[in-house]
Amino acid sequence: MSRDPIFRPWMDQLLKLLGAGAAVTGLYAVLMVYFGLSPKTLSAGYMPQQPVPYSHALHVGELGLDCRYCHTTVESAAFAAVPPTQTCINCHEKIAPTSHKLDPVRNSFVSGLPVQWIKVHDLPDYVYFNHSAHVTRGVSCVECHGRIDQMEEVHQVKPLSMGWCLGCHRNPASHLRPVDRVTDLDWGLDRTEEEKAAQGNEIMKGLGLIDESGLPTTRLTLLTNCSTCHR
Residues forming the site for other proteins (CB under 8 A) = 1, 6-7, 34, 38-39, 159, 161-164, 166-167
CB nearer to other proteins: pick between 11 and 198 = 11
CB of 122 to other proteins, least distance (A): 16
Residue 87's nearest CA partner among 58, 118, 48, 114 is: 114
| Burial class, 117, CB count within 10 angstroms (exposed 0-12 / middle 13-18 / buried 19+) | middle
Q: How far is CA 119 from the centre of its chain?
A: 12
Q: Whole-number minimum distance, CB 217 to other proteins, in Å? A: 22
Q: How far apart (Å, rounded) are the C-alpha atoms in residues 197 and 129?
A: 24
* DSSP per-residue string spanning 22-77: HHHHHHHHHHIIIIITSHHHHTTT--PPPSS---HIIIIIIT---HHHHSGGGGTS
The nearest distance, CB 199 to other proteins, in angstroms, is 26
Q: Which is nearer to other proteins, 108 or 156 (CB)?
A: 156
- Asked if 64 and 70 touch (Cβ cutoff 8 Å), the reply is no
Q: For residue 176, what are the β-bridge partners?
A: 139
Which residues, 6+ apart, have CB-to-CB distance to 5 below 8 Å? none
- Minimum gap (Å) between residue 208 Cβ and other proteins: 25
Q: Which residues are CB-neighbours of 41 under 8 A, at least 6 positions away?
A: 35
Nearer to other proteins, 89 or 162 (CB): 162
- In terms of CB distance, is 25 or 224 closer to other proteins? 224
For the CB of residue 3, give the shortest distance to other proteins in the complex, in Å. Answer: 11
Query: Which residue, 122 or 186, has its beta carbon nearer to other proteins?
Result: 122
Q: Distance between terminal CA atoms of the chain?
A: 68
Closer by beta carbon to other proteins, 45 or else 167: 167
The values of phi and psi at residue 176, to 5°, are -105, 150
Q: How far is the CB of 73 from other proteins (least distance, A)?
A: 29
